[in-house]
């Protein structure tokens, strides 16, 4: 998107869209409307249709790479991202890949995300520590969303462990992200809407750092609780993701209209509790 600072890119996306909704692109062949083929071309066509239907209601799109790669549809992903660039120029593109490795391998993942797919940001698993994150700093204008307090119940197996008196592991990740892992203003955290108390705790630690928040819609996270817990000092700071509830609002011929309606309703519900 051309800005030297990813935080500036996000602020522009929020301002131009008047939205904190992020639509996840998770193309599940089993849930496609009948007119879309179960092929890479069908995946591309479906995702482009969802982008067209929802672009005016979102600040970001989040394609999940596994849904494309499993079907040999990486070229379709490239084409979908190019399409977003054309029809939703305001939107930030977050490639959801949850990469986690060190050194030369991490640099290859960075090249994949930012050069091959031209994503604005990437989700990263930080649990190998500092040297699993530093290679991405070579792309200072691209964003990094580090897994912190994820929306799945099993996240508590590790993320809720005590690492010091009064400090959970997810809180340590948030502290490191805020104090050491953000040299270019490019870092944010992934914190699930299903844990609003923990979301509020993370916000207290990281100040105005952006948060990618999955877990509303199909996963049951509450929008009011999420926004009130996670909004920053400006009433913004969130990319609240909804995937299945928007993409599969209908599997009939009205799929585009239904996706647009759910996206708009979600956007407005988020806005009600912002600022």
Residue with tokens 């992020």: 22
Distance in angstroms (rounded) separating the CA atoms of residues 234 and 237 = 8
Catalytic (active site) residue 267: no
DSSP state of 116: I
Q: At what angle do helices 40-54 and 255-272 cross, to 10 degrees?
A: 50
**DSSP H/E element including 258:** helix 255-272
Instruction: Please identify which of the residues 62, 75, 86, 98 carries the catalytic annotation.
Output: 98
Query: CB–CB of 167/145 below 8 Å?
Result: no
Q: At what angle do helices 74-87 and 40-54 cross, to 10 degrees?
A: 20
Tell me which residues are annotated as active site: 98
């Amino acid at each position: 998107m051309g800005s030297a600072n990813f935080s500036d890119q996000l602020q522009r996306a929020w301002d131009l869209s008047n939205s904190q909704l992020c639509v996840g692109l998770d193309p599940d062949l089993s849930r496609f409307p009948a007119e879309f083929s179960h092929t890479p071309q069908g995946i591309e066509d479906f995702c482009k249709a969802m982008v067209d239907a929802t672009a005016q209601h979102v600040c970001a799109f989040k394609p999940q790479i596994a849904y494309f790669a499993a079907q040999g549809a990486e070229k379709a992903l490239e084409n979908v991202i190019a399409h977003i660039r054309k029809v939703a120029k305001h939107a930030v593109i977050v490639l959801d890949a949850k990469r986690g490795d060190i050194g030369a391998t991490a640099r290859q993942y960075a090249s994949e995300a930012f050069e091959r797919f031209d994503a604005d940001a990437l989700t990263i698993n930080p649990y190998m520590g500092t040297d699993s994150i530093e290679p991405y700093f070579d792309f200072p204008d691209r964003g990094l969303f580090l897994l912190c307090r994820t929306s799945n119940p099993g996240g508590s197996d590790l993320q809720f462990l005590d690492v010091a008196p009064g400090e959970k592991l997810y809180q340590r990740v948030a502290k490191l992200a805020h104090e050491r892992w953000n040299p270019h203003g490019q870092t944010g955290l992934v914190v699930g809407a299903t844990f609003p108390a923990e979301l509020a705790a993370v916000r207290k630690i990281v100040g105005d750092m952006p948060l990618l928040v999955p877990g509303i819609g199909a996963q049951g996270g509450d929008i009011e609780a999420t926004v009130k817990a996670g909004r920053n000092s400006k009433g913004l700071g969130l990319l609240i993701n909804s995937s299945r509830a928007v993409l599969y609002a209908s599997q009939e011929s009205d799929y585009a209209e239904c996706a647009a309606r759910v996206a708009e309703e979600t956007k407005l519900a988020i806005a009600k509790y912002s600022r």
